Amino acid sequence: MSTSNKKDNKYQIAVIPGDGIGKEVMEATISVLDELDVDFDYIYGIAGDECNEEHGTPLPQETIDIVRDSDACLFGAAGETAADVIVKIRQEMKMFANLRPVKSYPNTKSLFENVDFMIVRENTEGLYIADQEEETEDGAIAKRVITREAEERIIDYAFQYAKDNNRTKVTAVHKANVLKKTDGLFKKIFYEVGEKYPDIDTEDFYVDATAMYLVTQPQEFQVVVTTNLFGDILSDEGAGLVGGLGLIPSANIGADGALFEPVHGSAPDIAGQQKANPIAMMLSAIMMLRYLGENDAADKFDAAILKVLSEGKTLTGDLGGSATTMEVAQAVKNAL
């Protein structure tokens, strides 16, 4: 598509390909983004294992600055240093919400049809706080932190997401029958915030029951909001419902910025061989487009992916095909 038709506003996008297949899926995704009627200025940054070997740090300050100065960030994959990279970016940019869509696509080994829900996970507290574990004479102790401010923020984000995306129900997931103080507060806040959204139905389940419902009645969920650890676990369970981590995008949203990444790793065993499935990276880019308000472009990109998957002619090895990473990208561009 000609760049002359693009809009006047240009978005500055931080691009961090990272390690392994991150580079390949990023290249494929950028090639499709360039076909859309949206104007991007890509600023590339380095991070990950290779960066650590070459520069002595997995995440240089220069890369953090690039992310901070951009409208959004696309991240490919990191190897052993993934936690050092992603967690630090989340902390630096105050990215409090982790979004993990769980959606079934054709020809993807999805266990169910018509699954389409969003897991909204609190990203800053719970059990995942640095320096909140300590060894004792008897073993070790971890502290679980739940604050009213953080939980109100994430729960309100979930309801607003539901409202903005024509979802009619939000489900809270907790373990308030055992964690009576921390999850008791989470549940209380959930229903307080829910009163501000009278047009949206509310329900809550224990996390163990939710784990069962995800594999027995996943179509019943629309938006799920939960704390950090529970969200981490349920997100991967959701990925298993719809064909595995290779097809799942994610977003980290905060007051100061947003980062979009596939949840698969760097897959060093197939890196450089053009075997990687770029769909998860592409779906992450679609989430970025929606974050930027470019919904028409997002719809076109999503429809093109759906067409390619529905036809089933150009699939990578993980989906039973033999197409290369860039062949999938070309098929998506053709479908546009």
Check if 169 is active-site. no
Burial (CB count within 10 angstroms: exposed 0-12, middle 13-18, buried 19+), residue 309: buried
Q: How confident is the model at residue 91 (pLDDT cuts 50, 70, 90)?
A: confident
Quick one: pLDDT band at residue 10, thresholds 50, 70, 90? very high
Classify 111-241 by CATH class. Answer: alpha beta
- Per-residue pLDDT for 3 more than 70? no
In whole angstroms, give the CA distance from residue 275 to residue 246. Answer: 12
Mean pLDDT of the chain: 93
Q: Is 236 a catalytic residue?
A: yes
Give rounded-to-5 percent helix, strand, coil for the chain. Answer: 45, 20, 35
Domain 1-104+245-336 sits in CATH 3.40.50.800: no
Inform me whether the pLDDT recorded for 4 exceeds 60.
no
Q: Where in the chain is the domain with CATH 3.40.718.10?
A: 1-104+245-336, 111-241
| Whole-angstrom distance, CA of residue 301 vs CA of residue 283 | 9
pLDDT at 318 over 50: yes
Q: List CB contacts of 219: < 8 A, sequence separation 6 or more.
A: 112, 114, 115
**Catalytic residue list contains 269:** no
Position 128 scores a pLDDT of 82
Name the more confident of 39 and 132. Answer: 39
Q: Which of 128, 157, 183, 318 is catalytic?
A: 128
The pLDDT tens digits for 196-236 are: 999 999 999 999 999 999 999 999 999 999 999 999 999 99
**Which residue in 23, 232, 275, 318 is the catalytic one?**
232
Residue 232 a catalytic site member: yes
- Among the listed residues 39, 41, 69, 208, the single catalytic one is 208
Which pLDDT score is estimated for 129? Answer: 77
State the Cα–Cα distance between residues 81 and 59, nearest whole angstrom. 9
Any catalytic annotation for residue 116?
Answer: no
145 phi, psi to nearest 5 deg: -110, 125
> What are the strands, taking DSSP E only, across 175-222?
201-206
The pTM of the full predicted model, rounded to 2 decimals, is 0.91
The HSE-up count of residue 61 (CA atoms within 13 Å, CB side) is 0
Q: What is the pLDDT of residues 251-309, one digit of tens each?
A: 999 988 999 999 888 999 999 999 999 999 999 999 999 999 999 999 999 999 999 99
Report the pLDDT value the prediction gives residue 6, as an integer from 0 to 100. 40
